[in-house]
Chain A
Amino acid sequence: MRLTRRNALVAAAFALATVSGLGGGMYLAGSRHGAAPDIPGLLWPQPKAIGHFALVDDHERPFDRGRLAGKWSFLFFGFTHCPDICPTTLATLANVAARLHAPVGGAPYQYVFVTVDPQRDTTAHLAEYVDYFDERFIGVRGDDEALAEFTRQLGVVWFRGEPDEEGRYLVDHTAAVMLVDPEVRLVGVFSAPHDAADIAARTARIRAFLEGGQRS
């Protein structure tokens, strides 16, 4: 499946409506966690449960729902032929990784870059690309259908421009970084522009809120 511009715009509108709907719910009271704190980007009390998806990581291992369970995951969607915002965001996430440390015995953090350009971003290329930013980063890909199964659950959209005479094309994509909790729920959306200290601070607050709620 190839997203046409029209389809992508419809998908974008739907996704934005979904995400803003989720965000709009954050002020509703009533959960085992108590009232949601005012943390920009926190999707609470209506986080989005993530269901089945089947992608592959940069070591050719399955990357599915089980790979998100038990971890705090940052997800970012982009493509390696993107010279500005994608590498900028990955460098920012490397900075976030240097700031955030999971408590001893607590769920670890993981950082996942999902390509929206699997035709050009082969597994091998993806591996060396993400390793350049941080060796802990995981590159993930899948065909358009598998990718869409994942992205539509997150409100993430992308669409590819028409190739020029040399076959080069650009891909528009959601700029936000997504935060998924160990119960595999989308709990945070960090909109661009990104600041590492800010993302780390908000993540620590979201984690403290959700983990605190689980202990009470």
Chain B
Amino acid sequence: MSGPGASSRGRLGATTAAVIPALILAAALAGAAAEVLLEVTDAWITEPPPGSTLAGGYLAIANRDNRVRVLERVTSPDVARIELHRTEVVEGLARMREVQSIELAPAATTRLAPGGYHLMLHLEGDRPHAGEELALELHFDGGETLAVTAEVRRRGDNAVHHHHP
């Protein structure tokens, strides 16, 4: 599918003035649709414990495309190396394995979450602290990329805290 672009609008002239708003609307819709076929939300990385240079990374990818898409790799200007990993518990044994890519089922949201698919970040230099942000770039099949900002969080922030009066 190819949406009408600015150049095609330029050739229309004034003959069909009533059509122009419709075309602009169509262009806007096509543009909007192309932007949100893949959407990343809830991106966060774990604050590494002291002495550790490893962080886990988690996010949700909504694939609104009608075909399987593939997350091929993730990069960051601030991180030496980022790997795609999967944790599996098989017969009581926890195993972590690097995977080459992650398939994103059509019309579904794939979650990278603790205990499953996740990013493994090999950090260098000062470890990031909770509340800071890290830039990530997700690379998909077909050369498409998405830039997202991941918040650094302390694990277990959903833990019960004791604030009794």
Contact = CB atoms under 8 A, between A and B. Distances in A.
27 contacts: A80-B52, A82-B54, A83-B54, A83-B55, A83-B56, A84-B56, A84-B85, A87-B56, A91-B155, A91-B156, A91-B159, A92-B156, A94-B159, A95-B159, A128-B50, A128-B51, A129-B50, A129-B51, A129-B52, A172-B95, A174-B94, A175-B93, A175-B94, A176-B92, A192-B94, A193-B89, A196-B159
Interface of B: 46, 49-52, 54-56, 85, 87, 89, 91-97, 114-115, 118, 120-121, 155-156, 158-162
Interface string A1-36: 000000000001000100100000000000000000
Given A81-B54, A128-B49, A95 B93 contact: no
A88 B114 contact: yes
A65 interface: no
Contacts of A191: 89, 92
Given A175-B92, A192-B94, A84 B156 contact: no
B94 A132 contact: no
Number of chain A interface residues as a range: 35 or more
Listed from nearest, the 8 A-B pairs whose CB atoms lie closest are A91-B156, A175-B94, A132-B49, A95-B159, A91-B155, A88-B114, A83-B56, A83-B54
B94 to A, nearest CB: 4
A82 B55 CA distance: 9
Given A85-B96, A173-B93, 7 more contacts: A83-B54, A88-B115, A125-B51, A133-B49, A175-B89, A175-B93, A175-B94
Contacts of A19: 92
